[in-house]
Amino acid sequence: MPDRPATRHACDDAALVALARDLVARADESWPLAELAAPFGLSPSAFQRRFTALVGLSPKALQDAARLGRLKSALKAGSPVTEAILEAGFGSTSRVYGEAQRDLGMTLSAYRAGAAGEIIHWTARETRLGWLAMAATARGVCFAQFGASPSALQAELAREFPHATLVASDADAPSRRTASPRATAPLDAWIDALDAHLARHAPAPELPLDLRGTAFQMRVWRFLQGIPLGETRAYADVAQAVGAPKATRAVGTACGANRVAVLVPCHRVLRGDGALGGYRWGLARKRALLEAESAARP
């Protein structure tokens, strides 16, 4: 049995943060919840609630995230898939494939190749809030971002998916279309629907999404999708709703990591005092989106 952290008598935030560091540093070791809770004088369930409220993840989820981070680093460094799995501390290959593919949004070999072989269709449209690009895999929309120009947005898409095959679709200029109409028709209809929502306050389209993030980010993004049109939430409200009431800073980071503007409405999250807070695509756009949604609310 591996050595455990030194006994702690007080279950304060500093002690829990120190334990979280231990868990990340030694993510390849087994840490039964009962043994983690015992030094703090708490039951396993009470300890897990306290830990999750502070850190944003349960001890197990934190270690899973640490192992996934190591796996991603090893794959990016070019390690063979099986070696990368073992280097990351998974111990065996039997259970990692389904879990990692779910969190990476692609197979391990595809991630190692920088999404090589994955086909992503994309298009750009000038909206009332500036240029908007949307891109989709076979699973759904993986990218919807505002930018200065189509070329700048294409460069950002390429940074997000460096070795995928990017196939452009320009619905407004058929002579320049580089993909088949059959392949790009859904994407063109999707960006039309989002453009109509931005320009004429039409209902926000419910589109299939291909979201890729950590377990905590996914919890935040799914909650944001449930915030009704015309309503807002504070960062602290979101943290409470996803089971991590002290993780407001992590909520802000998750909002900033969102690749899918409007469809994952991170613009509906404000500071506790009602101020706008941050927004990946500029506060002017955030303000305009909120004002338009407030006016369109029944």
CA distance 133 to 126: 9
Residues β-bridged to residue 135: 122, 143
Note the pLDDT of residue 21. 81
Note the pLDDT of residue 83. 61
Note the pLDDT of residue 76. 62
Note the pLDDT of residue 177. 42
Q: What is the DSSP string of 128-153?
A: TTEEEEEEE-SSSEEEEEEESSHHHH
Q: What is the pTM of this model?
A: 0.63
How many alpha carbons lie under 13 Å from residue 71 in its C-beta half-sphere? 28
Note the pLDDT of residue 61. 80
Tokens in use for 181?
């109409």
Note the pLDDT of residue 152. 95
* Phi, psi (rounded to 5 degrees) for 112: -60, -35
Interval 197-206: pLDDT, tens: 888 777 778 8
Residues 6+ apart with CB under 8 A from 218: 211
Expressed in angstroms, the distance from the first to the final Cα of the chain is 61
Note the pLDDT of residue 205. 86
Tokens in use for 247?
């993780």
Residues 6+ apart with CB under 8 A from 282: 146
Residue with tokens 């702690």: 8
**What DSSP designation does 202 have?**
P
**Which residue ranges form the domains of the chain, and what is each CATH number?**
1-113 (1.10.10.60), 119-200 (3.30.160), 215-296 (1.10.10.10)
Angle at 241 between CA 140 and CA 135, to 5 degrees: 15
CA distance 33 to 58: 10
Note the pLDDT of residue 96. 55
Note the pLDDT of residue 294. 85
Tokens in use for 2?
């591996």
Residues β-bridged to residue 121: 136, 167
CA distance 288 to 298: 18
Check: CB of residue 88 under 8 Å from CB of residue 26: no
Q: Can you say whether the dihedral through the CA atoms of 30, 95, 100, 237 is positive or negative?
A: negative
Classify residue 148 as exposed, middle or buried by CB count within 10 Å of its CB (0-12, 13-18, 19+). exposed
Note the pLDDT of residue 141. 94
Which active-site residues does the annotation give? 266
Strands 130-136 and 141-147: antiparallel
- Mean pLDDT per 10-residue segment, the chain (298 residues): 49 79 76 85 86 80 75 64 60 52 53 64 94 92 95 93 82 42 69 89 84 85 92 94 88 92 96 92 94 80
CA distance 241 to 209: 22
Note the pLDDT of residue 136. 93
Q: Is 272 helix (H, G, I), strand (E, B) or coil?
A: coil
CA distance 267 to 289: 7
**What DSSP designation does 120 have?**
E
Note the pLDDT of residue 74. 65
Tokens in use for 249?
């800073």
